[in-house]
Structure 1
Amino acid sequence: MRFVVDGDGSPVKKEVIGLAEKYQVPVLIVTSVDHYTTETYPNFVRFIYVDKGADSADYRIVKEINADDWVITQDFGLASLVLPKGARVFHHSGKEYLAATIDQLLEQRYLGAKLRKAGQKTKGPKAFTKEDRQEFVVKMESLLQETL
């Protein structure tokens, strides 16, 4: 098992690394070269940098994923690609994406894009708060305790 983080837009990278350290789980962060960092990370954290492009990180994650990995992403499309490979997939809110509900989420995303293309405004996600961050940690820690 390892955490695989869709690093381009994840607000919980530090929280994932903290959980990984506590539970001795390796971390793979896949992100575009636009987010290259010289920050020093622990040895159990590995980065893969990909070219710029809307789905470059997603395609690399799909290539790298193992059946027992836990993926952290807010991308429904990516979730739909890795669920069939046996990975567990979580939103940065801690909510788990499930095979039984992913089609509904994809359809909602499609309908929202269709409305925006037609000129209608749709609500975006609310700002990610300190409380949201803490809720993610609590949910993930509970799942880790059940699993490990």
Structure 2
Amino acid sequence: MKPTIYLDADACPVTAEALAVARACQVPAVIAGNSTQNLARHLRRGDPRTPTGGFWVDTLPVGVGADAADFAIMQELQPGDIVVTQDIGLAAMALGRRARAIGVRGRVFTLATIDLDLHIRHEEKKVRRQGGRTRGPAPFEDDDRERFAANLRRLVEESLRDGEREH
């Protein structure tokens, strides 16, 4: 089986790039997001919506609760799949399931660094809770899109090579 790319689509600036990689690599993609969003706007008229031997794409609308998309993705996720997310917690859960995870700026999350990422997130949250300020993200640039697309393609190719899917 081919890996599936799962997009945590809430505020995801690289949905078009992720779908372009899925089309080029002929792997399925699932866009998960708040049911109030128009997730279908990302689909092309000719995109297959049901499983085929290659590329197909579907939407996974979820409720408006916090982390609803994360939990919906985790219910579907299989080893070798790839999660596109800005959420370090979802990335950690995906890695725990032997899936891959990539941030929207192209950073590939790894088991070797995810604990530190979670620790930094926790410490920054403590500072904000106490009224302090932390540095926000840098502006999103075209270089981020290019890095994301290149690294996502590499992850797909690695997953296809590794053949981690057992279905």
TM over 0.5: yes
Query: What's the CA shift string for 1:78-110, capped at 9, x where partnerless?
Result: 111121111011111221111121111111011
Among 28, 31, 42, the alignment partner of 2:30 is 28
RMSD: 1.5
- In the other structure, the counterpart of 1:8 is 10
For CA contacts below 8 A with separation 6 or more, give which structure has more relative contact order: 2
Q: Secondary structure at the match of 2:31?
A: strand
Letter in 1 for 2:86: Q
Tell me if 1:64 matches 2:76.
Answer: yes
Tell me if 1:97 matches 2:99.
Answer: no
Contact 2:84 2:103 in 1 (8 A): yes
* TM-score calculated relative to the size of structure 2: 0.82
Contact 1:32 1:50 in 2 (8 A): yes
**Displacement of 1:9:** 2.0
Contact 1:36 1:49 in 2 (8 A): no
Letter in 1 for 2:16: K
C-alpha spacing 1:68/1:145, structure 2 compared with 1 (3 Å): closer
Contact 1:2 1:26 in 2 (8 A): yes
Greater helix percent: which structure?
1
- In the other structure, the counterpart of 2:142 is 130
**Displacement of 1:137:** 1.4
Consecutive unaligned residues of structure 2, counting only runs of 5 or more, are 49-55, 161-167
CA distance in 2, matches of 1:47, 1:96: 24
Contact 2:100 2:155 in 1 (8 A): no
Letter in 1 for 2:26: Q
How many residue pairs match? The answer is: 148
CA distance in 1, matches of 2:79, 2:116: 23
Q: Which moved more, 1:131-140 or 1:17-26?
A: 131-140
Give the percent of matched residue pairs that are identical in Structure 1 and Structure 2: 34
**Displacement of 1:144:** 3.6
**Displacement of 1:126:** 1.3
Consecutive unaligned residues of structure 1, counting only runs of 5 or more, are none
